[in-house]
Structure 1
Amino acid sequence: MTVDPYAPNPYAALLARLHPERYAEVAAVAPPPRLFEGGRADLPATTASGVDPQVLMRLPFGLRHAAAAEPDRAKVFELVELYADVPDAQIDHPRLGEAWQRMQRWLHETDTDPRSFEQRQADDDAEFASYYPEAS
């Protein structure tokens, strides 16, 4: 299953394809997290090298975190030169893994029940009472 590795958030596109019903259900309640800044941004506000963060969009997403953290401007531009047209290129970086984990948590742990805690408790109590009327 392919997604555009140059898109702002390929993880979101991947999960939308793999789990379309759950993705739609969760996205109706909360937007999917993004790749940077704890899930709040498609790109970092700054890069360690001072390179404009927009340059990262020329790289496949699997390289963006490593390039953002690279302090040497020349190495960042070398990554762009070498890998801009290699869609599957990836450098393992802890922040890339964290972005994937955020997406997984969002998809699997986001509560989509619109009822309040109190309403859920009342509904649970009523259901319990319907099964065990003598306990009420």
Structure 2
Amino acid sequence: PPRSTTELNLDTEKFSSFSALRGRMIWPLAKGKVIRSSGEDRNKKLNTVTINYGVDIKSTGDMDVKAVAEGIVSAIDWIPGYGSVIIITHKGDYRTVYSHLSEIFISEGDKVKMGTRIAKVGESLEGNILHFEIWNSRKNQDPEVWLARK
């Protein structure tokens, strides 16, 4: 059973700097491309605007999801519209969020390193798509600014 978040030790002081990864962060998928960027998403047919707090990455080939930086798994949950979700807490009050997952290979409270296999991408109507977010405190960040250019 998942551990209570009050029991989790989220001390990240000994971890390497998260902010230093800006522009050179590894991708959470070995192969994939961004199909929906962060920010406003306007649907001209329905005349609606939705906010995407992260990016949607369509998987091609290998579907393992990897932690983008050293951190502590602070939450694993299921959220309507996002499915299975993993949140990892990093140094400097940063968090990364990975959703639309199928198999999960880690547990709450686990320490992970950059590149640790944490899950597999789940299937959606559009194929195998990972939703990925980066937050600093309560402010969402644009992952495309952080991820290394392919």
Same fold, TM exceeding 0.5?
no
Higher strand share: 2
Give the number of the structure with larger relative contact order, counting CA–CA contacts within 8 Å between residues 6 or more apart. 2
- What's the TM-score once normalised by structure 1's chain length? 0.25
